[in-house]
């Protein structure tokens, strides 16, 4: 009888009983919610999100407040005299400042526009004087000329990387489904083997009892009696082996999906979604629209082009134009700084021209171009492999649908044959050899059916992983 205690997992609650019963779908959902692999995937997803936020901030206005408060000094310092000699004079002052800086990157040109306002106060304690210096406001612009524009290329590549990471998260969830399906069927097969072993043990003991009566009546030989005794011992050993396998498979499944406790787990035989139709063209279309690999193809080509542009941008003449204008002033009071400030402006063009680099610039460019060509070929090859993998998996899945119908029919026939063989042996018109064959065929048919279920659902979840598409609900997979 079950107790009123609940076994709880993240997103799941089960009555506390001696046995927990799970379907394949429940096990998959628990693994996606509670497994270590799922938690790692969430952590990676969050990391990629904050990397994306960092990238986005590069294109937003930046405002920074800087200051020296206080800038107190009391010491001796060298002072050069008019005649060129040096005297060490005492100084006692406070030189404090406060600056507010603004900057904005221009992605289209790679330039940067900036603004500043500054106030500086100088207190001379020896002479008891106060001076102010400041920039009421100033604005400037810095523009690299004939150089590589990293902001422009990042704006093309970083969104691809972020979208790729989102699809990687979905793929990781589907990989978890593939992995836990293997653990599920390991335990299911072990439980089926235990059921078979228990059934065979009971049947062989019953037949041995009947055979004992026949032996006393002289209807069967001593050799046949010994054979049945051996069958009983083997069946008993099979029960022990099956129990051990169930314990190991239960521990593996429990560990992966994050279930604690010592309750027995009973798995339900999954059904087959026979009406589900999978068409190769549909799977290919969804895969190239949803998979991270498809986004990665585009990203890898874009990165190769970026590297070529960078190599070219770092060769030959490079220049940086810097210009600013604004107002500055000095006064004896802070407010006087802002009264009739004086103009200030500057223009600077900085040049760098390689005169002799022994072919280094050309080599860098040629290397980047060769790498771009290599990546183009590699991407094309990966696309072909990607397509072939999907085509193969669709073919395999459709074959599994047919195979499972055959194994189901074979299991029913083997079970009926086993039943008839048992009855015939009891009636005395079947040999022990034929009975053993019927036992083995029945056992093999049951195991084959579970194996065909494993292949079917493994192929199904593999298709989900390859396309990120739910073929049962006919919609894209999202989390």
Percent of the chain with pLDDT over 90: 54
pLDDT at residue 150 greater than cutoff 60: yes
Burial classification of residue 246, based on how many CB atoms lie within 10 Å of its CB (0-12 exposed, 13-18 middle, 19 or more buried): buried
Note the pLDDT tens digit of each residue in 201-233.
887 888 788 778 777 777 767 887 888 788 889
Contact 407, 446 (CB under 8 A): no
Rounded Cα distance between 183 and 243, Å, is: 16
Place of tokens 């290397």: 367
Residue 172: what pLDDT? Answer: 95
pLDDT at residue 8 greater than cutoff 70: no
Place of tokens 């997103």: 11
Of 269, 55, 25, 36, give the one whose Cα is nearest residue 158.
55
Of 457, 417, 409, give the one whose Cα is nearest residue 439.
417
Half-sphere exposure of 58 (CA within 13 A, CB side): 15
Place of tokens 């037949």: 207
Of 247, 192, 189, give the one whose Cα is nearest residue 457.
189
Indicate the pTM of the whole model: 0.80
Note the pLDDT tens digit of each residue in 59-109.
999 999 999 989 999 999 998 888 888 999 899 999 999 999 999 999 999
Contact 95, 120 (CB under 8 A): yes
Which residues are CB-contacts of 42 (< 8 A; sequence separation ≥ 6)?
Answer: 169
Percent of the chain with pLDDT over 70: 94
Of 152, 313, 180, 198, give the one whose Cα is nearest residue 254.
180
Residue 3: what pLDDT? Answer: 34
Note the pLDDT tens digit of each residue in 241-282.
999 999 999 999 999 998 887 788 999 999 876 667 788 999
pLDDT at residue 296 greater than cutoff 70: yes
Contact 48, 151 (CB under 8 A): no
Note the pLDDT tens digit of each residue in 162-212.
999 999 999 999 999 999 999 999 999 999 999 888 888 887 888 788 778
Residue 321: what pLDDT? Answer: 93
Of 388, 443, 378, 368, give the one whose Cα is nearest residue 410.
443
Residue 432: what pLDDT? Answer: 66
**Paired tokens of 477:** 């997979």
């Amino acid at each position: 009888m079950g107790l009123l205690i609940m076994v709880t997992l993240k997103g799941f609650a089960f009555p506390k009983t001696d046995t927990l019963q799970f379907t394949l779908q429940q096990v998959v959902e628990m693994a996606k919610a509670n497994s270590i692999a799922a938690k790692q995937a969430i952590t990676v997803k969050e990391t990629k999100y904050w990397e994306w936020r960092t990238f986005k901030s590069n294109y937003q206005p930046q405002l920074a407040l800087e200051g020296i408060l206080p800038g107190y000094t009391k010491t001796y310092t060298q002072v050069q005299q008019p005649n060129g000699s040096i005297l060490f004079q005492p100084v006692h002052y406070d030189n404090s400042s406060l600056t507010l800086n603004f900057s904005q990157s221009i992605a289209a040109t790679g330039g940067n526009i900036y603004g500043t306002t500054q106030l500086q106060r100088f207190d001379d304690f020896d002479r008891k004087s106060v001076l102010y210096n400041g920039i009421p406001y100033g604005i400037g612009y810095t523009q690299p000329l004939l150089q590589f524009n990293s902001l422009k290329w990042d704006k093309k590549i970083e969104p691809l990387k972020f979208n790729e990471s989102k699809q990687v998260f979905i793929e990781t969830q589907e990989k978890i489904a593939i992995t836990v399906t293997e653990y599920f069927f390991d335990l299911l097969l072990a439980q089926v083997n235990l059921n078979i072993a228990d059934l065979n043990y009971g049947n062989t003991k019953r037949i041995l009892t009947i055979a004992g009566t026949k032996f006393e009546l002289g209807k069967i030989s001593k050799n046949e009696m010994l054979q049945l005794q051996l069958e009983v011992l083997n069946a008993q050993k099979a029960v022990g082996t099956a129990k051990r396998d169930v314990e190991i498979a239960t521990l593996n499944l429990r560990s992966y999906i994050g279930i604690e406790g010592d309750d027995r787990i009973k798995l339900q035989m999954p059904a087959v979604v026979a009406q589900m139709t999978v068409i190769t063209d549909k799977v290919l279309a969804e895969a190239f629209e949803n998979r991270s690999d498809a986004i990665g193809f585009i990203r890898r080509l874009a990165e190769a082009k970026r590297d070529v542009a960078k190599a070219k941008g770092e060769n030959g003449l490079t220049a940086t134009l810097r210009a600013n204008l604004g107002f500055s002033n000095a006064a004896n009071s802070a407010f006087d700084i802002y009264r009739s400030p004086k103009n200030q402006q500057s223009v600077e063009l900085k040049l760098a021209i390689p005169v002799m680099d022994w072919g280094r610039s050309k080599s860098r460019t040629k290397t980047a171009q060769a790498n771009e060509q290599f990546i183009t070929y590699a991407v094309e090859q990966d696309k072909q492999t990607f397509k072939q993998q999907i085509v193969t998996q669709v073919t395999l899945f459709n074959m599994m649908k047919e195979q499972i119908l055959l194994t189901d029919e074979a299991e029913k026939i083997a079970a009926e044959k086993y039943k008839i063989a048992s009855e015939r042996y009891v009636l005395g018109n079947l040999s022990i050899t034929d009975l053993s064959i019927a036992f083995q065929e029945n056992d093999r048919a049951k195991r084959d059916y579970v194996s065909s279920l494993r292949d079917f659902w493994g192929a199904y979840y593999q298709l989900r992983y390859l396309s990120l598409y739910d073929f049962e609900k006919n919609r894209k997979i999202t989390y």
